[in-house]
Amino acid sequence: MTTPPCRDEYPSTSSALPPNSRGIGLGGDSSGINSTGDNSINMQVVHAAPVIMPMEQVIPLSALGNTPAVPDVFVGREEDLQRVEYAMAGPGPVVVTAVQGLGGVGKSTLAARYSALHRGEHSLVWWITADAPSAIEIGLARMAVALQPAVAGLALEQQTEHGIRWLSSHPGWLLILDNLEAPTDASMLLERMSHGRVLITSRRAAGWHSTGTALPLDVLDPDDAVSMLTRIIVGSRPATDCAGAVDLCAERGGFRWPSSRPPPTSLRLALLPPTIRTCSSDIRR
Ligand SMILES: Nc1ncnc2c1ncn2[C@@H]1O[C@H](COP(=O)(O)OP(=O)(O)O)[C@@H](O)[C@H]1O
Ligand SMILES: [Mg+2]
Find the 69 Cα to ligand 1 centroid distance in Å. 11
Find the 111 Cα to ligand 2 centroid distance in Å. 9
CA distances 234 to 106, 231, 240, 271, Å, are 22, 5, 6, 19
Q: Is the pTM of this model over 0.75?
A: yes
pLDDT for 128-147, tens place per residue? 999 999 999 999 999 999 99
Count Cα neighbours of 283 within 13 Å in the Cβ-side half-sphere: 27
Instruction: Say whether 255 sits in a helix, a strand or coil.
Output: coil
- Helix 243-253 crosses helix 273-284 at what angle (to 10 degrees)? 130
Residue owning the nearest CA to atom 5 of ligand 1? 74
Say if CB 80 and CB 50 are below 8 A apart.
no
What are the residue ranges in the chain where pLDDT is below 50? 1-16, 260, 266
Report the side by side order of strands in the sheet with 124-129.
Answer: 124-129, 173-178, 196-202, 94-100, 213-216
For residue 274, which phi and psi values (nearest 5 degrees)? Answer: -65, -35
Per CATH, the number for 61-216 is 3.40.50.300
Find the 273 Cα to ligand 2 centroid distance in Å. 12
What pLDDT shows up at residue 282? 67
What pLDDT shows up at residue 72? 82
What pLDDT shows up at residue 60? 86
Mutation pick for ligand 1 pocket among 109, 233, 279 (CB with most ligand atoms within 8 Å): 109
Neighbours of 44 (CB within 10 A): 6
Q: Ligand 1: residues whose CB is within 6 Å?
A: 71, 73-77, 101, 103-109, 201, 228, 273-274
What pLDDT shows up at residue 44? 72
Instruction: Say whether 23 sits in a helix, a strand or coil.
Output: coil
- Which of the ligands is closest to the CA of residue 272? 1
What pLDDT shows up at residue 272? 74
Residue owning the nearest CA to atom 23 of ligand 1? 104
Residue owning the nearest CA to atom 15 of ligand 1? 106
